[in-house]
């Protein structure tokens, strides 16, 4: 036998995406006629904006289905800069249009990592950062904050970790944070960016939820001066800030030209750029006036969920200033028994118990390296939120 190991050691250790797995679980329960309250996968629902649909349809009608520029349609690259308010800072050549924000992240990681370089992530990293880092031959490490204030990393925490890790090449900040729904303030973002720049580390800002800020708040933009710009890469896309747009698979990065050139070069070899009709749809979205009813709807759903969740026993519900997630501390149920006598030992157990007994599907904190927590995505119908919270309350109250 020539090969004893059929799958590379790198991929063999991957767990499938937790959140996409939740979608399959919901479909399976629904097919079996079981009740299901789907707080699992983080995706916007509702209906696609008519302009987006029309542009996609038109692209197919006009047979815009041939290969295009691997870095993305030039007009979409320019439009992304206007969408981000960066048209006076960058040129369209500094933008790469990608197959979802995931590819923008992988492009960035592949473009900057040498084998065994360290990538620093915040304290509750989104599920795919670590696999993407491993794919790029980098070693992912979480920056653990000294003060346990909502898992937010401060500049001192970052300094300390950089000093300990001479091979650190990058710090990735996800703001607003998936899964915790917290938002770093402008001073902290600026301080973190400057720590990176001073140490010659890339500061990668994943801002995928940046429009979904509640209570009149605004997304804190990073500093754009000569110190920070050479190290700043911003990642964004269509998947969260627009209704029902995750399947368009369009994202983008904006960053320094040398890095962008390297990413376009890379992308030209492995996707040749994203689907052209999807790019046309994205262009229509960015060129239309933004649909703020999405933000208003999500804020109302957040209020509905949080008001109901606060009376659930044993659960501490965190505030949600942005995004569409509610983050629950469920450590107080560890060690408790379910009515059928099982002891709940970790967040996977709590998520499984809620799903099996109440039909309430949540994402376990274990998928985000934070055992002790559950994440609930709330862009679902109001009645489903209310009914799901009632079921969850009954399930938690039944623990002894
Ligand atoms: N970054 C964060 C924080 C996310 O939550 C997600 C998707 O859930 C992504 C990146 C990937 O986005 P996309 O679906 O556009 O690839």
- Asked whether residue 122 falls in the same domain as residue 212, the answer is yes
Q: How far apart are CA 5 and CA 1, in angstroms?
A: 10
Smallest Cα–Cα separation from 376: which of 321, 298, 310, 324?
324
State whether residue 330 is helix, strand or coil: coil
> Cβ < 6 Å from ligand 1: which residues?
42, 100-102, 126, 174, 178, 206, 208, 237, 239, 246, 251
Domain membership of residue 45 (yes or no) is no
In a domain, 267, yes or no: yes
pLDDT tens digits, the chain, 400 residues: what are they?
A: 666 778 888 777 777 766 667 777 888 888 988 889 999 988 898 899 999 999 999 999 999 999 999 999 999 999 999 999 999 999 999 999 999 999 999 999 999 999 989 999 999 899 899 999 999 999 999 999 998 789 999 999 999 999 999 999 999 999 999 999 999 999 999 999 999 999 999 999 999 999 999 999 999 999 999 999 999 999 999 999 999 999 999 999 999 999 999 999 999 999 999 999 999 999 999 999 999 999 999 999 999 999 999 999 999 999 999 999 999 999 999 999 999 999 999 999 999 999 989 999 999 998 888 999 999 999 999 999 999 999 999 999 999 9
Nearest to 182, CA basis, from 370, 300, 320: 320
pLDDT score of 7? 84
Q: So what's the pLDDT on residue 28? A: 86
Tell me: do 282 and 139 sit in the same domain: yes
Measured in Å, residue 156 CA sits from the centre of ligand 1 at: 27
Is residue 2 assigned to a domain? no
Question: Does residue 178 belong to any structural domain of this protein?
Answer: yes
Q: In this predicted structure, what is the pLDDT of residue 15? A: 73
- Which residue CA neighbors atom 3 of ligand 1 most closely? 178
State which residues form the domain around 301: 9-38+292-397
Do 55 and 30 lie in one domain? The reply is no
Q: What share of the chain is helix, strand, coil (3-state, %, to 5)?
A: 45, 15, 45
Predicted pLDDT at 317: 98
The whole-number pLDDT of residue 148 equals: 72
Q: Are residues 27 and 91 in the same domain?
A: no
Strand ordering across the sheet containing 232-237:
95-98, 251-254, 232-237, 202-206, 168-174, 118-121, 139-142
Phi and psi (nearest 5°) for 185? -85, 170
Ligand 1 centre to CA of 321 (Å) is 19
Q: Which run of H or E residues covers position 118?
A: strand 118-121
Distance (Å) from CA 5 to ligand 1 centroid:
31
Helices (H) and strands (E) in the chain, counts: 13, 13
Atom 5 of ligand 1: nearest residue by CA position: 178
The CA 313 to ligand 1 mean position distance, Å, reads 32
* Cα 378 to ligand 1 centroid, rounded to whole Å: 16
Check residue 13 and give left, alpha or beta (phi > 0: left; psi -120 to 50: alpha).
Answer: alpha
Phi then psi dihedrals of residue 236, to 5 deg: -155, -175
Q: Do residues 281 and 320 both lie within one domain?
A: no
pLDDT on residue 84: 98
User: What is the C-alpha separation between 278 and 194, in angstroms, rounded?
Assistant: 36
Q: What is the DSSP letter of 288?
A: S
Mark whether 220 and 79 lie in a shared domain.
yes
Phi, psi angles (nearest 5°) of residue 270: -120, -15
What is the Cα–Cα distance from 44 to 248, expressed in whole angstroms?
12
What pLDDT score was predicted for residue 24?
Answer: 79
316 and 334 assigned to the same domain: yes
> How far, in Å, CA of 41 to CA of 247, rounded?
13
Q: Give strand pairing partners of 202.
A: 170
Neighbours of 289 (CB within 10 A): 6
Compute, in angstroms, the gap from residue 240 CA to the centroid of ligand 1: 8
CA–CA separation, 308 and 146 (whole Å): 32
Instruction: Using the atom order of ligand 1, give the atom closest to the CA of residue 209.
Output: 3
CA of 101 to the centre of ligand 1 (A): 6
User: Closest Cα to residue 361, out of 36, 28, 45, 35?
Assistant: 36
Q: What does the pLDDT read at residue 20?
A: 67
Looking up residue 183, the CATH number of its domain turns out to be: 3.40.640.10
Q: Which of 208, 234, 327 to mutate to test the pocket of ligand 1 (most atoms within 8 A of CB)?
A: 208
Instruction: Scan for tokens 């520029």, then name that residue.
Output: 69
Cα-to-centroid distance, 102 and ligand 1 (Å): 6
Cβ within 8 Å of residue 215, ≥6 positions away: 299, 321
Q: Which atom of ligand 1 is nearest to the CA of 250?
A: 15
Question: Which three-class secondary structure state does DSSP give residue 33?
Answer: coil
Give the pairing of strands 232-237 and 202-206: parallel
And the tokens for 319? Answer: 């505030």
Please tell me the residue having the least CA distance from ligand 1 atom 8: 42
Residue pair 251/102 in contact (Cβ under 8 Å)? The answer is yes
Nearest atom in ligand 1 to 237's CA: 15
Q: Does residue 3 form part of some domain? A: no
pLDDT value, residue 97: 98
Q: Which of 264, 287, 310 is the last residue of a domain?
A: 287
Q: Counting atoms of ligand 1 from 1, which one is nearest the CA of 126?
A: 3
Ligand 1 nearest-atom number relative to CA 239? 15
Domains in the chain: how many in total? 2
Q: For residue 365, what is the DSSP state?
A: G
- Same domain for 276 and 306? no
Q: How far is CA 105 from CA 169, 173, 227, in A?
A: 14, 12, 22
Considering the domain architecture, whether residues 64 and 138 belong to the same structural domain is answered as: yes
Do residues 155 and 202 share a domain? Answer: yes
Q: Give the list of residues 6+ apart from residue 280 with CB closer than 8 angstroms, or none.
A: 55, 56, 58, 59, 64, 73
Same domain, 97 and 185: yes
Q: How far is 204 from 213, CA to CA, in rounded Å?
A: 20
Same domain, 87 and 232: yes
């Amino acid at each position: 036998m020539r090969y004893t190991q059929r799958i590379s050691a790198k991929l063999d250790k991957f767990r499938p995406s937790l959140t996409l797995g939740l979608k399959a679980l919901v479909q399976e329960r629904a097919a079996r006629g079981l009740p299901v309250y789907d707080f699992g996968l983080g995706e916007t629902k509702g209906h696609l904006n008519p302009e987006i649909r029309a542009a996609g349809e038109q692209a197919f009608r006009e047979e815009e289905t041939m290969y295009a520029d691997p870095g993305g349609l030039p007009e979409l690259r320019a439009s992304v800069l206007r969408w981000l308010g960066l048209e006076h800072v960058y040129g369209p050549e500094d933008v790469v249009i990608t197959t979802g924000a995931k590819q923008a992240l992988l492009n960035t990681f592949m473009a900057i990592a040498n084998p065994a370089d360290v990538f620093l992530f915040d304290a509750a990293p989104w599920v795919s950062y670590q696999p993407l880092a491993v794919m790029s031959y980098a070693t992912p490490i979480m920056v653990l904050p000294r003060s346990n204030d909502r898992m937010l990393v401060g500049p001192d925490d970052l300094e300390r970790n950089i000093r300990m890790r001479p091979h650190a090449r990058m710090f990735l900040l996800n703001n607003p944070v998936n899964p915790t729904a917290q938002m770093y303030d402008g001073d902290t973002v600026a301080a973190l960016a400057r720590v990176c720049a001073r140490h010659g580390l890339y500061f990668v800002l994943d801002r995928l939820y940046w429009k979904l800020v509640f209570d009149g708040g605004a997304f804190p933009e990073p500093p754009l001066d000569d110190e920070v710009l050479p190290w700043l890469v911003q990642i964004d896309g269509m998947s969260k800030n627009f209704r029902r747009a995750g399947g368009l698979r369009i994202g983008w990065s904006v960053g320094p030209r040398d890095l962008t050139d390297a990413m376009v070069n890379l992308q030209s070899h492995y996707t040749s750029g994203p689907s052209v009709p999807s790019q046309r749809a994205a262009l229509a979205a960015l060129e239309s006036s933004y649909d703020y009813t999405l933000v208003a709807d999500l804020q109302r759903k957040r209020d509905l969920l949080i008001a109901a969740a606060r009376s659930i026993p044993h659960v501490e519900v965190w505030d949600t200033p942005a995004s569409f997630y509610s983050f629950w501390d469920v450590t107080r149920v560890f060690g408790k028994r379910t009515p059928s006598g099982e002891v709940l030992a970790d967040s996977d157990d709590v998520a499984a118990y809620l799903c099996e007994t109440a039909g309430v599907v949540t994402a376990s904190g274990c998928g985000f390296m934070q055992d002790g927590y559950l994440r609930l995505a709330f862009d679902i119908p109001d009645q489903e939120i209310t009914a799901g919270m009632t079921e969850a309350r009954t399930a938690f109250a039944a623990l002894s």
